[in-house]
Amino acid sequence: MKNEKLKQQIVSYALLVLGSALFAVGDVMFVNPYHMAPGGVYGLANVFNAMWGWKISLAGICMDIPLLIIGTIILGPKFGLKTVISVILIPVFTFIVESTWGYAPLIHDGAFFDVEMQSSLFFMDGDVQRYFMPDFFLNTVVSGLIYGVAIGVIFRSGATSGGSDIIAMIVHKYTKISLGTLVLIVDSIISLTTLVAFEDIRLPIYSIILIFIESKIIDLVVEGVKSYKTAFVVTDKVEEVRDFIIKDLDRSGTVFAGSGLYKGAERKMIYVTLNRSDLVKLKANLRFLDPNAFVNVIESSEIMGNGFKALPTE
């Protein structure tokens, strides 16, 4: 048991390091050269870098650490050791990437220029301002993929990236606004700073598209590709449906007893969680097993326990 727990800890910290490194690569080599700010502390750091030449790593950690301290004071010790390590690792890797690679875009449509051209963007090459022709769509898709994998891996390690999420959590404590809505508001405001700073309507639009792609990839990394459905089947042919689920689908479930709302007649309901293909089989056979059955199917974002994902060990 101790060896297994130690192995899990090693894997989680390895994921934390990997996610932090990927985040730095995505931000410096893809997001920053396009002057995008897809929310978060490092979105603002990108704007500060483009406007005033501040190092992304320095601006990021100068905002992250005070937010972490303020969040701990107001919210209590909610942020674990891994989050603290993440707040330190991301600027360290960001500093390494920006010091070795610089701020040149990896994706661009053509060569670099010393003179501004129509529709071009600039990046700082040392003290020199260089220009390039952007490929916004491809860069946004790749940035969203890298950001999503990076943050998803950080979440899988048991940490968070801190940053603007702390602002949302503090506001959530004193308002009735949901945390998800507040995160969206904070990130959207940060994305809009690119419009104020650079007067280019494309930048906040592509930043929001990046956030959307990122969120989908995060869900994929954290929850996996398996899709489960939970079915509630109200039927008078409980034994027939039960036998089909157990014998044909090799699944189990739970039977609840209840009464109808209209006539008060006693009814039984089967609760069962299935993957997509098994649900199709169940629906196809229900019309033969009980044509009068009532079925309610809902999306299940995460299923843990026997036959599905293992319960967390800690």
Q: What is the pLDDT of residue 20?
A: 95
The answer to whether residue 276 scores a pLDDT higher than 70 is: yes
80 neighbors 9 (Cβ within 8 angstroms): no
In angstroms, the CA 60 to CA 28 distance is 12
pLDDT of 262 higher than 90: no
Once rounded to an integer, what is the mean pLDDT over residues 285-296?
89
User: Does the structure show a pLDDT above 80 at 253?
Assistant: yes
pLDDT in tens, 72-126: 888 887 777 888 999 999 999 999 999 999 999 999 988 899 999 888 999 988 8
Q: Which residues are CB-neighbours of 223 under 8 A, at least 6 positions away?
A: 301, 302
Strands (E), the chain: 112-113, 121-125, 128-132, 228-235, 254-259, 266-275, 294-300
Non-local (6+) Cβ contacts of 157 within 8 A are: 12, 13, 15, 16, 19, 82
Fold topology of 228-300: Alpha-Beta Plaits (3.30.70)
Tokens of 259: 């009464």
Supply the pTM of this predicted model. 0.79
Task: Report in angstroms the alpha-carbon separations of 144 from 83, 217, 251, 266.
Answer: 22, 8, 37, 52
Q: What is the mean pLDDT of residues 217-229?
A: 77
> Which of 126-130, 137-141, 265-269 reaches the highest mean pLDDT?
137-141
CB-based burial label for 52 (10 Å; 0-12, 13-18, 19+)? exposed
pLDDT for 3-23, tens place per residue?
A: 778 888 899 899 999 999 999
Residue 8 CA to residue 284 CA, distance in Å, equals: 42
Percent over 70 (pLDDT), the chain: 94
48 contacts 31 by C-beta, under 8 angstroms: no
Confidence class of residue 311 from pLDDT cuts 50, 70 and 90? Answer: low
Query: Rounded distance, CA 145 to CA 150, Å?
Result: 8
List Cβ<8 Å contacts ≥24 apart for 242-248: 242/270, 244/282, 244/285, 244/289, 245/270, 245/272, 245/282, 248/281, 248/285
Question: Mean per-residue pLDDT for 238-242?
Answer: 92
Highest-pLDDT range among 99-108, 166-175, 226-235: 99-108
The pLDDT value given to residue 221: 86
What residues does CATH 3.30.70.120 cover in the chain? Answer: 228-300
18-32, 167-181, 265-279: which has the minimum mean pLDDT?
A: 167-181
